[in-house]
Amino acid sequence: METFLLATPSAKSANLESESTHAQLTRQWLERVVVGLGLCPFAAQPLLENRVRIKVYSGTTELALLEMLHEELDLLDQQPATAIETTLLVIPNMLNDFDNYNQFLDRVDALLETFCWDGRYQVASFHPQYCFAGVAPQAAENLTNRAPYALLHLIREDSIAAALENVERPEEIPVRNIAQVNALSTNEQRRLFPWLFSADKPTTESPD
């Protein structure tokens, strides 16, 4: 006979509190790193206008994660960019190994193609261990894509195309970003990426 354990109110409360912490640290990273360092020249306005949705997947199975990804893409279909510009799907409890995360991205691409979202949305990848192909893991340039948790960033293709029209020499954005993170001192890296210098899980900090 199977036994089903129902979550107690205290367990549910703890889970919600944990999700809130994950979302808070992700937003802190957006504010201090992505916007603060100017790594994405068109991220500040949606964040300021509260049009960036942060959704935490607290489970541990790939199928359920893909189902949530489908739900979030469907939500973007239903909502205009003036309401939700972009979504960050935060994955704190699985895909901690970067190689496993990279392999999972193949399933993400397959989902986009299967449901005819390819060309309408793109999914940008961020991970605490992110490492560009052919780049040493300790190289500072990897910091441009290192987030507190594994993330799937759901982006509207139309919005990106429109935003890039107003950016001078958009093809140079990656080069400028690499120069920006390479210029960070060790102390600045520790302040902006504290989870990379601790064996503990990421913790939120009070604003400077």
DSSP one-letter string for 137-168: TT-GGGGGG--SSEEEEEEEHHHHHHHHTTSS
- For the chain, first and last CA: distance in Å? 55
Q: How far apart are CA 186 and CA 73, in angstroms?
A: 38
Give dist(CA 177, CA 175) in Å, integer: 5
What length does the chain have? 208
Quote the CA–CA distance of 89 and 104 in Å, as a whole number: 14
- Three-state DSSP class for residue 159: helix
For residue 199, the model assigns a pLDDT of 57
Q: What is the pLDDT of residue 115?
A: 97
Predicted confidence (pLDDT) per residue in 59-93, tens digit: 999 999 999 999 999 999 999 999 999 999 999 99
The pLDDT of residue 63 is: 97
Q: What is the pLDDT of residue 16?
A: 60
Per-residue pLDDT of the chain (208 residues), as tens digits, is: 333 344 445 545 556 667 889 999 999 999 999 999 999 888 899 999 999 999 999 999 999 999 999 999 999 999 999 999 999 999 999 999 999 999 999 999 999 999 999 999 999 999 999 999 999 999 999 999 999 999 999 999 999 888 888 777 877 888 999 999 999 999 999 999 999 987 545 554 544 4
Q: What is the CA radius of gyration of the chain?
A: 18
Structure tokens at 19: 């999700």
Distance, CA of 129 to CA of 41 (rounded, Å): 23
Output the pLDDT for position 208: 44
Chain centre distance of CA 182: 21
Residue whose pair of structure tokens reads 């703890």 in the numeric block: 14
